[in-house]
Structure 1
Amino acid sequence: MRRLPKLNPVLIASALALAANAAADPGGADALTSEGPVQPAKVEGGKYLDKDGNPTYRVTDGGRKVDWNTMSGYLRYNANCIACHGPDGAGSTYAPSLVEALKRDDYPTFVGIVAGGKRDVNAAQELVMPAFGENKNVMCYIDDIYVYLRARSDGVVGRGRPAEHEPRSEAFKAHEDACMG
């Protein structure tokens, strides 16, 4: 039986509780409109949430401008995930496409796999996703990575670096400082 690594509850709680930060509306009255199938339902703690309270994106200007969390997710993905999952979450010969995975996996599933790891073994191959539950460079930004990949999965953000982004909110800065220590 495979034992999961000991997870740091402070990091996981911090990553999952960012939405509970004090409200900050970075986009004014039209902050709840976005391109793509998912519309933000509210803004809390400087980030956009869908109707179910899951982190989501705000993309405008034909996919050229993204919210800060989507931009942060792009940067963090490229710092931590690209080596295995390939450019833009498209997958590689080594690891699956996260763009495709998010068409079926929800937010709690995504966070659970990233925090606790995953192992897929069959007669042809053995795929192992390491656990990142103790890695602040991943867990402090897990919502951002999810939002970026969700925007890619929904087809509203193309390949490559987004051309423009909203400014980083004070709530984001406060969360980052608290989580990274």
Structure 2
Amino acid sequence: MRLPEARIIAVILTLTTAAICSMPTAAETQEKAATTSRPADGGDRPYRIGADGKVDWAVFNGFRRYNSICNTCHGPDGAGSSFAPALVDSLKRLSYDQFLEIVVNGKEEVNTAAEKKMPMFGTNPNVMCYIDDIYAYLKARSDGALGRGRPPKHEDKPAEAAEAEKSCMGG
């Protein structure tokens, strides 16, 4: 190997190692999300939907985030697909903690009839910083409080949500 090629490889390895070492661990991302995300208000009902159909910011943002990441496998509106189950059905039996466990650590189900695997998202800030919002949206869908498609009206983004987002995303 010639000297310039060796230097290029050394630089690439150094940069790759530095990038990997600077990535947050799953625990760090989860801790940051837990301390900056909007807490669920109301236990089993972490959402607010007015009589006029206006949803709170968390539900609207959850809709947006779901459609940017989860929709690929779980289908539109959490209705499921050939790749992954309907989350509107799953949340009828899963608690928030069970939902969070699966999102953070992934899930694998292998048997004679199926081989399913959900990747872990515990280190993905695009999921973990908005996990409460995604849950609020899906729970509203699961409870039948919110129909399919984009919510027609939503509250403005509160200052607390903007601050939490900035803190969690490292801004």
Amino acid paired to 1:154: D
Relative to the length of structure 2, the TM-score reads 0.80
2:36/2:167 contact within 8 Å kept:
no
Q: Say whether 1:49 aligns with 2:49.
A: no
**Equivalent residue pairs, number:** 147
Greater than 3 Å deviation, 4+ residue runs: none
Q: Say whether 1:114 aligns with 2:103.
A: yes
**CA RMSD of superposed structures (Å):** 1.8
Q: Say whether 1:61 aligns with 2:51.
A: yes
Q: Say whether 1:161 aligns with 2:119.
A: no
In our comparison, the structure showing a higher alpha carbon Rg is 2
Q: CA deviation at 1:8?
A: 2.0
Relative CO higher for 1 or 2, CA cutoff 8 Å, sep ≥ 6? 2
Q: CA deviation at 1:11?
A: 1.8
Cross-structure match for 2:34 = 16
Query: 1:80–1:168: structure 2 CA closer, same or farther, 3 Å change rule?
Result: same
Q: CA deviation at 1:17?
A: 2.9
2:40/2:132 contact within 8 Å kept:
no
Q: Say whether 1:102 aligns with 2:91.
A: yes
User: Larger % of strand: which?
Assistant: 1
Please state whether the residue corresponding to 2:81 is helix, strand or coil. coil
Q: Specify every segment of 5 or more residues in structure 2 that has no aligned partner in the other structure, as ranges.
A: 1-23
Q: CA deviation at 1:61?
A: 2.6
Cross-structure match for 1:74 = 63
Q: Percent identity?
A: 48
User: Larger % of helix: which?
Assistant: 2
Query: 1:153–1:109: structure 2 CA closer, same or farther, 3 Å change rule?
Result: same
Q: Specify every segment of 5 or more residues in structure 1 that has no aligned partner in the other structure, as ranges.
A: 1-5, 20-44
